């Protein structure tokens, strides 16, 4: 089997957010073969990633055997080394890699999850993310509880530190009082804070409210700050959704930057890198909770690679069109069995 074409497009679904999540948003990659099979994957990076695939990665792949995915990944990585390594190029490569894994599953006649484990889990606990900005965050909390979620993450990025520290503590205290002790809570600062000692003081003030983790409390590239904070924080520190490749995660792990690592399969380099990241994490005895894990590509990985207590983020509402999974009662599972990732994204190339 040989690759006959590599196509890419950027869908603009209803509800796509403004800012970088829209303009630099998700791309769909299709890898066609002379066997009549097409693999589909999703990456990130918008128009810039589209250019990288069309001008740089496609010529490398045309005529190649799609089977040795890991070898193809390294070839693409090395070909883009001068201007890649992280960021947009790896987001583009992620989409290609996932399309190749989709092809591998279709060729073998099994779901990707069964390529990774003989008996993948049937489903996984999912968590909802609730924004804490606005007049009444309790509405979002009650909605999540009503939908069956027993694990909820609080988005705290709208607060500033150190000035809003007391307000953050009050907000988390109020949520804990609202949901009771049986609901697991986490918090996400979305890289909004820069003062490590202020974050540590806040974490100390939040201990009594039993948070499962504090996510991205510092900028992604403040590795020294993260190592310092993780060593001292009474609340586990999570991060990594904006890190790229197993090489990048190896550096974070060596420095002890986080207690919990959150690679995004559509950004970090695809499934080829996600597998390696899981292996690294197991060696370092730390937990992996992939970013957007209940979306179909990440869900295949979680159901098959997680050896501990799996947990899947509920995903983004503007990505519901991808399909391939069911989310109900606070749990995520794959939709009706299908080979590969079980999604048909051909309509993305027929629009217009």
pLDDT for 341 beyond 90 = yes
Residues of the chain with CATH 3.30.390.10: 3-109
Q: Residue 3 belongs to what H/E stretch?
A: strand 3-9
Q: What is the pLDDT of residue 22?
A: 72
Distances from the Cα of 202 to the Cα of 4, 141, 316, angstroms: 55, 22, 28
Q: What is the C-alpha to C-alpha distance for residues 30 and 308, in angstroms, rounded to an integer?
A: 33
- Let me know: does 259 contact 236? Beta carbons within 8 Å: yes
Say what the pTM is.
0.96
Q: What is the C-alpha to C-alpha distance for residues 276 and 161, in angstroms, rounded to an integer?
A: 35
Q: What percent of the chain has pLDDT over 90?
A: 89
Which candidate in 242, 259, 284, 291 is catalytic?
291
Q: What is the mean pLDDT of residues 217-221?
A: 97
Match 């197993």 to its residue by tokens: 246
pLDDT for 1 beyond 70 = yes
Q: What is the mean pLDDT of residues 223-246?
A: 98
Q: 15 burial class (0-12, 13-18, 19+ CB within 10 angstroms)?
A: exposed
- Let me know: does 131 contact 137? Beta carbons within 8 Å: yes
- Let me know: does 300 contact 111? Beta carbons within 8 Å: yes
Q: Residue 129 belongs to what H/E stretch?
A: strand 124-131
Domain 115-334 class in CATH: alpha beta
Domain 3-109: give its CATH code.
Answer: 3.30.390.10
- Looking at every residue in the chain, the average pLDDT score rounds to 95
Q: What is the mean pLDDT of residues 310-326?
A: 89
Confirm whether 259 is a catalytic residue. no
Q: What is the mean pLDDT of residues 292-320?
A: 91
Q: What is the pLDDT of residue 351?
A: 62
Residues of the chain with CATH 3.20.20.120: 115-334
Q: What is the C-alpha to C-alpha distance for residues 177 and 184, in angstroms, rounded to an integer?
A: 12
Q: What is the pLDDT of residues 16-58, one digit of tens each?
A: 777 777 777 899 999 999 999 999 999 999 999 999 999 999 9
Q: What is the C-alpha to C-alpha distance for residues 311 and 309, in angstroms, rounded to an integer?
A: 7
Q: What is the C-alpha to C-alpha distance for residues 306 and 287, in angstroms, rounded to an integer?
A: 9
pLDDT for 352 beyond 70 = no
Q: What is the pLDDT of residue 25?
A: 80
DSSP 41-101: EEE--HHHHHHHIIIIIHHHHTT--SS-HHHHHHHHHHHTTTT-SSTHHHHHHHHHHHHHH
Q: What is the C-alpha to C-alpha distance for residues 10 and 338, in angstroms, rounded to an integer?
A: 24
Token pair for 123? 């489903």
Q: What is the C-alpha to C-alpha distance for residues 172 and 20, in angstroms, rounded to an integer?
A: 28
pLDDT for 15 beyond 80 = no
Token pair for 312? 């899947």
Q: What is the mean pLDDT of residues 107-122?
A: 95
Which among 136, 131, 189 has a CA at the least distance from the CA of 164?
189
Token pair for 267? 């950004």
Q: What is the C-alpha to C-alpha distance for residues 36 and 333, in angstroms, rounded to an integer?
A: 29
More confident residue, 84 or 136: 84
């Amino acid at each position: 089997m040989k690759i006959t074409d590599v196509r890419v497009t950027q869908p603009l679904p209803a509800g796509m957010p403004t800012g970088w999540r829209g303009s630099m948003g998700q791309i769909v990659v299709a890898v066609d073969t002379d066997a009549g099979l097409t693999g589909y994957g999703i990456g990130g990076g918008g128009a810039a990633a589209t250019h990288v695939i069309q001008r740089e990665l496609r010529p490398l792949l045309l005529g190649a055997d799609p089977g040795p995915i890991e070898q193809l990944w390294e070839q693409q990585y090395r070909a883009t080394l001068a201007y890649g390594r992280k960021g947009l190029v790896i987001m583009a490569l992620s989409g290609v890699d996932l399309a190749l894994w989709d092809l591998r599953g279709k060729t073998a006649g099994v779901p990707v999850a069964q390529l990774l484990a003989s008996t993948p889990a049937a489903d996984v606990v999912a968590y909802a993310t609730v924004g804490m900005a606005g007049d009444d965050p309790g509405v979002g909390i009650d909605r999540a509880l009503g939908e069956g979620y027993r694990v909820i993450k609080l988005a705290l990025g709208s607060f500033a530190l150190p000035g809003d520290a007391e307000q953050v503590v009050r907000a988390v205290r109020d949520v804990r009082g609202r949901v009771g002790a049986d609901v697991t809570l986490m918090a996400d600062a979305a890289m909004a804070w820069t003062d490590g000692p202020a974050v540590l003081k806040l974490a100390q003030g939040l201990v009594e409210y039993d948070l499962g983790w504090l996510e991205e409390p510092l900028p992604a590239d403040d590795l020294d700050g993260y190592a310092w904070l993780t060593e001292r924080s009474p609340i586990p520190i999570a991060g990594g959704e904006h890190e790229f490749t197993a090489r990048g995660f190896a550096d974070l792990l060596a420095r002890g930057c986080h207690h919990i690592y959150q690679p995004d399969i559509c950004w970090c380099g695809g499934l080829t890198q996600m597998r390696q990241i899981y292996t690294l994490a197991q060696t370092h005895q730390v937990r992996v909770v992939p970013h957007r894990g209940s979306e179909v590509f990440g869900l295949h990985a979680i159901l098959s690679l997680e050896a501990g207590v799996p947990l899947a983020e509920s995903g983004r509402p503007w990505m519901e069109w991808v399909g391939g999974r069911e989310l109900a009662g606070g749990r995520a599972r794959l939709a009706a069995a299908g080979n590969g990732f079980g999604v048909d994204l051909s309509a993305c190339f027929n629009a217009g």
